[in-house]
Structure formats: C-alpha cells, structure tokens
A and B are shown apart, each in its own frame.
Chain A
Amino acid sequence: MTARRIVVVNGGLGQPSSTRLLAERLGAATSDALLEHGMEADVDIIDLRGLAHPLADAVVTGFATGELRSALDALSAADGVIVVSPVYQASFSGLFKMFFDVLDEGALAGTPVLMAATAGTARHSLVLEHALRPMFAYLKAVAAPSGVFAASEDWGSARAEQSLGRRVDAAATELAALVAARPERASGGAFDDVVPFDQLLSGP
C-alpha cells in the first residue's frame, strides 16, 4: 500500500507563526494516527504566504501558474487535508479565502478535511463553526466533526499545552479514521473522462 497523501494548508503569515506550529502538530498527529490504521502518510505543508502574489494574479487573470498550480494540484490529489487559518476580523484571513477561491471545481469533493484556526483570544473559537465549516460544506468536503482552535493562552502554560495536545490528537484521530475509511485516490489526468456527445445531445 502506498502512503496516504496529507496536505496541510497553512494560512499563517508570521515567521515564526503559531498557525504554522499548529499546522505542523496536526500533520504529525495525523501521521501517527494513520499508523494505528497500518498506513504510512506523506505530509506536505503549503505555506500560503509564499503564494500571496501568485494568488492575487490568479484572481485577476483567472488561471493559476507555477507554484500555485502545483499547490492546487496537490490539494486535488490529497487523501486528507488539514487547513489552518489565523483569525482576522472575526473570520479566516483574506489570503486563506483566496486560496480556496481559485480552487478547481470539485477539487475537495469527498475529501476529509480537518479545520483549525488560531487567534489572540479564545472568544474567536466559534470561527471554525461559523466561517470555516460552511465553506467546506459548500466545497463538498467531508469535514471532521472536531476542529482545533488555539488561542494565545493555549501556548502559554504546561497545562494549557496539554489540553491543546489532547485536542490535536483527538481531531487527528478523527481525520485519520476518515482517510483510512476511504479508498486510495486514483490519480487521473485532466479531461480523461469525457461525456460522449450523444449524451450531451439528448440533454441532462
């Protein structure tokens, strides 16, 4: 069995960034949890900061190129996806949304997704339910029941860290179960499936 492809989308802009840190922990925890199912995982992290200019270009021109194209292709081919956004003005960041705005149609349909967010205050924790979950529902992704939210205070003390660690593990376990339950993704080329013209002629 080949390794399952886990793609982590990191919307954090700082360097270092607590969003990046959470993304890494979720990636590692998912990898560990997949081992419990007897599966190896390849974990790739996509840092959106490096794609900021190509994303702006893609929004204007309507097509993605270069590294952005590769990132979108990786997402389309993923067996499981972890997304982490910082909270800006009570929602996910604009850059994070732009990435999903230029996603190919159907790219995440049926793909298990673990949602996570970071913010300066725990008062933003429902951003997962109010902002991220509806978007992934629209994209027809299979969102894991638990998201992971980390505020500044979660990184502060040993006790808080322990609590965050437990939440990370619990969510990663859910994602791993969804990935394991799903057949491996076949990689096909664009336009491999074409609707024959007599079907198009007879209408939907």
Chain B
Amino acid sequence: MQFGIFTVGDVTTDPTTGTTVSEHERIKGTIAIAKKAEEVGLDVFATGEHHNPPFVPSSPTTTLAFIAAQTRRIVLSTSTTLITTNDPVKIAEDYATLQHLTDGRMDLMMGRGNTGPVYPWFGKDIRDGISLAIENYALLRRLWTEDVVTWQGKHRSPLQSFTATPRPLDGVPPFVWHGSIRSPEIAEQAAYYGDGFFHNNIFWPISHTKQMVQLYRRRFEHYGHGSADQAIVGLGGQVFMRKNSQDAVREFRPYFDNAPVYGHGPSLEDFSRETPLTVGSPQQVVERYAAMADHVGDYQRQLFLMDHAGLPLRTVLEQIEILGGEVVPELRRIAAARRPAHVPEAPTHAARVTALHGRAVDSTMGTGISASAVDDVTGRPADVAR
C-alpha cells in the first residue's frame, strides 16, 4: 500500500500569528514539504491545481519536475489535474514529458474542479463539467495509446492526423486515477477504463465514501477488469498529531476553527467524528486509518492533507516527520497483514511495463502501441495494463 501527502496549495493567514506567507515562500515551502515526504519514507507527493487566489499551484508539472530533480524515490502525482478546463492535448504532452523526466516515477489524478468562475477563464462552462471530463479524457487516452489520432468532439477543435509528443515512456501511458467526491459518473468512468478511483473524503462521512467506492468496485468488475476487490482505490485523509492528544487538539483548534471550507462551522469534535479528520496522538491516527479498509475494502493509496489552513512550514515538516516515523510504518504493517494475495498493489510504471511486455509477447501487435490497439467493437483503446 502507498502512503503519501497531497497539498491544496492554499496561502492562508496563520490565525495564531496573523502571518501570511508570500506566494514565493509557499511555492518554495511546497518543495521542502515534498522533499521531507521522501526523506521520511512516504511513497507519494501530490499537488492540486488551481487558477485563482489564494492558491499557488497553477503549473503542476513545473513544480513536480523541479521536485523530481531533487528526489529519487517518491512518486509524483496530482490532486487533481483539471480534465475539464485543460486542453487534453496539453495534458498529454505535459505529463508524458514529466513521465520521461522522472523515469516513470509519476502518475496523475483527473478531477473536474468545482469553482464556477474558473471555467469561463478557459473558455468552458461548469454546466458541461461531466461532459468535458468524459470527452476530454477519452481523447487523452487516445493521444497516449495511439500514435496518430484523428478526432472530432464537442468541446475542442478537431484533430487531423495528430501525434502527441513525446510518446509515453516505454509505450506505457501514465497511470490515471479519477478523483470524485459525489459524482457517480466519475466512479463509472474510472470503472469503465479500469483506472484508479480516488475518493477525496476529507470533508465527508465514511458512509458516503463507502457508497461511492462500492459503486466503483461493482462497476470495475462489471467491465471485466477483475473482481470488485481488485479495483484500485485511494482515499484522502487529514491528521494533526502530538505525543499527547490534548496538545494536538489545543494546537490545531485555531487552525480548524478558521480553516477555509469548513471553518466557522461544526466543532472540531463533531467534524472529527463525521469525517476522517483525526487530531490526537500518532497511535490514535494509526487506529483510525487502519480501520478505513473495514469500510471500503483493502485499498492501494492513502494520501494525507498536512499543509493547509495557515499551518507554518516548520509545523508541517514536524507533522510529516511524525507521519513518516510513527504512523505510516505501523499502517503499512497492518495493511500488508490484511491484504489478500489477489488484491493488487498500486500500479507503478515498472509493474505496468512488465505487464505490457508480458502481454505483447503473446500477441502479434509487437511492443509498441499503435492504432491497432483499439477494440473495434467499442472503439475504445484496448486495455494497456493495470
């Protein structure tokens, strides 16, 4: 199982000091956070994508490539890449480039973005959100799996004999997760393609998360990618830890009470009961997150939000040390002990390359991916690897 962190990239005033970091400090702080995540043994660092203040991460592949150059092991990902307002051609190019630069040490998560005003800045309309996510992603897959693409759709100018460059590393496109909170269409999309499904449950009760994951698992099996418990599931999480749980609550409360999104609403105690937010000792965090699999089944990726609501960088780095030092090793051990052999690990580039070459040996298609790798019944690309 993979454990990591994901950042929203908000610039928020620290409510305890009134200090607001500059965009420059926040961007450089994000790099320090990612490097710390690798240093303490986490598996994944993911960044959000936003195009409006108070957020800084508008150019994820720039940031991820910069981190990749300074790390060796950690998988770089997104949370999420806007499949609605970005041009799928540019996503294909940017992330294939990142894939080459990182030697495959990356994947990405598709998301729609939920801020109405952002869409028109990119010539789109939020009411087309689902339709954009479906059409753009179908095109993105073709751009990665077919060398020459001729395409026509509703939301973008047509393509005639277009080749997206660079071609994916080793002929294997980056692994894709689909992030969704409440849209069954996106769970259906992830299931249809046999891609990963990430439920960002940090603001939601586990009962809702369970329903969404069950839908994805059921449909994953329906589309013939494996049994429901072999589907690739990721969850979000949010924690704040101190050795003494009362200290954790005391220190985190002002950040909670003033946080964007949920601040000025429910109490820390109510919100902790209803959502995965866990504020307490490392042991409490271990107990809470070890139990997640009881609700959603054995899953492949757990990402924690650690750096929002104005928490100072120094505190965030301390938190990541506790996470990597005291929590994740324990969660890793528990997850490994309970995971049945037939439930896969999160897909990595190396595993997908092996799977592709294994399959290619038995077929007449060769090792490269060409336009012939399209199912002539459904018109969709044949499954490359999972």
**CA of A195 to CA of B271, assembled, Å:** 32
Please give, as numbers and ranges, the residues of chain B lying within 8 Å of A61 by CB-CB distance.
203, 261-262, 265-266, 271
**CA of A190 to CA of B205, assembled, Å:** 14
**CA of A65 to CA of B188, assembled, Å:** 26
Interface residue A188 (Cβ < 8 Å from any Cβ of B): no
Complex contact B130–A57 (CB within 8 A)? no
**CA of A52 to CA of B185, assembled, Å:** 33
Interface residue A201 (Cβ < 8 Å from any Cβ of B): yes
Please give, as numbers and ranges, the residues of chain A lying within 8 Å of B270 by CB-CB distance.
57, 65
A160-204: contact bitstring with B at CB < 8 Å (1 yes, 0 no)? 000000000000000000000000000001110011111011011
- Size of interface on B: residues with Cβ below 8 Å to A: 32
Complex contact A63–B265 (CB within 8 A)? no
Please give, as numbers and ranges, the residues of chain B lying within 8 Å of A201 by CB-CB distance.
134-135, 138
Complex contact B131–A194 (CB within 8 A)? no
Chain A nearest Cβ from B149, distance in angstroms: 16
B213-228: contact bitstring with A at CB < 8 Å (1 yes, 0 no)? 0110001000100000
Interface residue B106 (Cβ < 8 Å from any Cβ of A): no
Complex contact B203–A60 (CB within 8 A)? no
Q: A56-B265, A60-B265, A201-B138 are in contact. Are A191 and B189 (CB under 8 A)?
A: no
**CA of A99 to CA of B216, assembled, Å:** 30
Interface residue B274 (Cβ < 8 Å from any Cβ of A): yes
Complex contact B205–A65 (CB within 8 A)? yes
Complex contact B205–A191 (CB within 8 A)? no
Interface residue A62 (Cβ < 8 Å from any Cβ of B): yes
Q: Which chain A residues in 56-100 approach chain B with CB under 8 Å? A: 56-57, 59-63, 65-66
Chain A nearest Cβ from B77, distance in angstroms: 24
Interface residue B184 (Cβ < 8 Å from any Cβ of A): yes
**CA of A172 to CA of B136, assembled, Å:** 52
Please give, as numbers and ranges, the residues of chain B lying within 8 Å of A200 by CB-CB distance.
130, 134, 185, 188-189
Complex contact B211–A195 (CB within 8 A)? no
B134-175: contact bitstring with A at CB < 8 Å (1 yes, 0 no)? 110010000000000000001000000000000000000000
**CA of A66 to CA of B205, assembled, Å:** 10
**CA of A194 to CA of B192, assembled, Å:** 12
Q: A57-B270, A200-B188 are in contact. Are A63 and B219 (CB under 8 A)?
A: no
Complex contact B211–A60 (CB within 8 A)? no
Closest to A63 in B: B204
Complex contact A203–B131 (CB within 8 A)? yes
Interface residue B309 (Cβ < 8 Å from any Cβ of A): no
Q: Which chain B residues in 183-208 approach chain A with CB under 8 Å? A: 184-185, 187-189, 191-192, 203-205, 208
Measuring CB to CB, which residues of chain A are less than 8 angstroms from any residue of chain B? 56-57, 59-63, 65-66, 189-191, 194-198, 200-201, 203-204
Measuring CB to CB, which residues of chain B are less than 8 angstroms from any residue of chain A? 130-131, 134-135, 138, 154, 184-185, 187-189, 191-192, 203-205, 208, 211-212, 214-215, 219, 223, 261-262, 264-266, 270-271, 274, 378
16 A-B pairs in the complex with CB atoms less than 8 angstroms apart: A60-B262, A60-B264, A61-B262, A63-B203, A63-B205, A65-B205, A191-B184, A191-B214, A191-B215, A195-B188, A197-B191, A198-B378, A200-B130, A201-B134, A201-B135, A203-B131
